[in-house]
């Protein structure tokens, strides 16, 4: 350990993906509209009805802040959709959700390559823990050309559970041989921060998702506008 590392409080940073590394609205509002139109054969009235049920307003292409889709897993979303998609099993719904997710456009919250390279140059171990499936997560990180910046990547289906449980977070700490007390969880939802607290990690909220500062503050050591402000907080 260098003198710089020994004098700081943290050695590892774990990021949520959607709403944290990538702007939530720019990515997932386009995905939701495309998915709902696909599943209803472009029947707009039916798409509006199903969208209302899952917390997405097709009329203005926006998620409600209380939508279960925001922090839920594909399995959670499939369970919500199941009553509206008669004749389709949840496994088939999840497959289509993941297929559409892999094609979802990604808008970086900040320029990610220089941001992540700066953290790695400072000696931090980095990871991603998402409630998205692992396949779409790898596709999104690969498309942004940042997959090799991370020491650990897990989705809800990677075998560690989903947030707000701490399984993914503890697996990350084991993977990089860092005690949870020396690691930071960064996310845009209360699921991320509750998971961080449960794992014994420091927690940072960011405002590039749909949650407001007041929603995140009770579970966060700090709330930042975006991950671009993280380096100063860490060092």
Average pLDDT value for residue range 177-196: 98
Q: Quick one: what percent of the chain has pLDDT higher than 70? A: 97
Of 225, 27, 216, give the one whose Cα is nearest residue 108: 27
Q: What is the mean pLDDT of the chain?
A: 92
Instruction: Compute the distance between CA of residue 94 and CA of residue 112 in angstroms, rounded to an integer.
Output: 29
Q: What's the pTM?
A: 0.87
Residue 134: CB atoms within 10 Å: 17
Two tokens, residue 212:
């407001």
**Which pLDDT belongs to residue 5?**
54
**pLDDT, tens digit, for every residue of 84-117?**
887 788 899 999 988 888 888 889 999 999 999 9
Please state which of the four CATH numbers 2.60.40.10, 3.40.50.1000, 2.40.50.700, 3.30.70.3270 is assigned to the domain occupying 3-23+107-234: 3.40.50.1000
Average pLDDT value for residue range 189-210: 97
* Sequence spans of domains, the chain: 3-23+107-234, 25-103
Backbone angles phi, psi at 12, to 5 degrees: -145, 150
């Amino acid at each position: 350990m260098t003198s710089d590392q020994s004098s700081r409080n943290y050695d590892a940073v774990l990021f949520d993906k959607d709403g944290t590394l990538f702007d939530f609205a720019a990515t997932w509002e386009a995905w939701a509209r495309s998915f709902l139109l696909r599943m209803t054969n472009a029947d707009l009235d039916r798409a509006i009805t199903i969208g209302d049920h899952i917390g997405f307003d097709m009329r203005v292409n926006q998620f409600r802040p209380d939508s279960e889709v925001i922090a839920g897993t594909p399995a959670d979303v499939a369970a919500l959709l199941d009553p509206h998609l008669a004749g389709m099993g949840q496994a088939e719904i999840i497959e289509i959700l993941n297929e559409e997710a892999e094609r979802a456009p990604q808008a970086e919250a900040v320029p990610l390559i220089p941001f992540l390279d700066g953290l790695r140059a400072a000696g931090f171990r980095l990871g991603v823990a998402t409630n998205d499936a692992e396949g779409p997560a790898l596709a999104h990180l690969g498309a942004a050309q940042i997959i090799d910046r991370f020491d650990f990547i897990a989705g809800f289906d990677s075998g560690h559970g989903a947030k707000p449980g701490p399984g993914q977070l503890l697996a990350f700490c084991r993977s990089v041989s860092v005690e949870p007390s020396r690691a930071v969880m960064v996310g845009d939802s209360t699921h991320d921060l509750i998971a961080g607290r449960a794992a014994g990690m420091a927690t940072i909220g960011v405002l590039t998702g749909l949650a407001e500062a007041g929603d995140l503050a009770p579970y966060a050591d700090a709330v930042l506008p975006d991950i671009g402000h993280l380096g100063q907080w860490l060092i």
